[in-house]
């Protein structure tokens, strides 16, 4: 009892299984290739600060992240923040553009947009802070 290819194609069970395999393949391809976006309001934090440096800046920023749905779902939203190195700031009021490097994001996720687009940061040095006097022997 030999089955020919045309006889196999005419079987309903074979067609149903083939349709399921094709549908699963299309679903898998479309779901992994889909780019999603996520809008967040994140706090702005500074590191490498000294006690004499006073920084005035907005407390948070609204931004939009884009990436694969799976990568965005794995983000711990409570641990994401904008991290700005205070050592790179000069004294005075200056615009600062938030970049992807300030967010510490996974490689698959990128920064799409943020509001405000430029953050105004004011820094000044407290000159009333005294340093301990050194004595010479």
Same domain, 29 and 39: no
d(CA 28, CA 137): 77
- The SS3 of residue 18 is helix
Same domain, 23 and 48: no
Same domain, 27 and 46: no
Domain that holds residue 5: 1-33
Same domain, 49 and 112: yes
pLDDT reading at 135 higher than 80: no
The predicted model scores a pTM of 0.63
d(CA 57, CA 104): 20
* Planar angle of CA 55, 61, 67, nearest 5 degrees: 135
pLDDT reading at 64 higher than 80: yes
Domain count, the chain: 2
The pLDDT value given to residue 128: 62
Encode pLDDT of 36-51 as tens digits: 889 999 999 999 888 8
Same domain, 74 and 12: no
Among 33-42, 44-53, 102-111, 128-137, the minimum mean pLDDT is found in 128-137
């Amino acid at each position: 009892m030999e089955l020919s290819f045309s006889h196999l194609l005419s079987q309903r069970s074979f067609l149903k299984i083939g349709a399921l395999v094709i549908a699963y393949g299309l679903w898998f391809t479309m779901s992994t290739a889909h780019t999603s976006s996520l809008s967040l309001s994140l706090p702005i934090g500074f590191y490498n600060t000294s006690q004499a440096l006073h920084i005035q800046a907005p407390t948070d920023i609204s931004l939009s992240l884009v990436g694969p749905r799976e990568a965005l779902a794995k983000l711990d939203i409570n641990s994401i923040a904008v991290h700005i190195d205070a050592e790179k700031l000069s004294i005075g009021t200056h615009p600062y553009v938030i970049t992807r490097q300030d967010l510490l994001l996974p490689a698959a996720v990128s920064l799409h947009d943020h509001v405000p687009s430029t953050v105004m940061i004011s820094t000044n040095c407290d000159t009333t802070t005294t340093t301990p006097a050194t004595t010479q022997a």
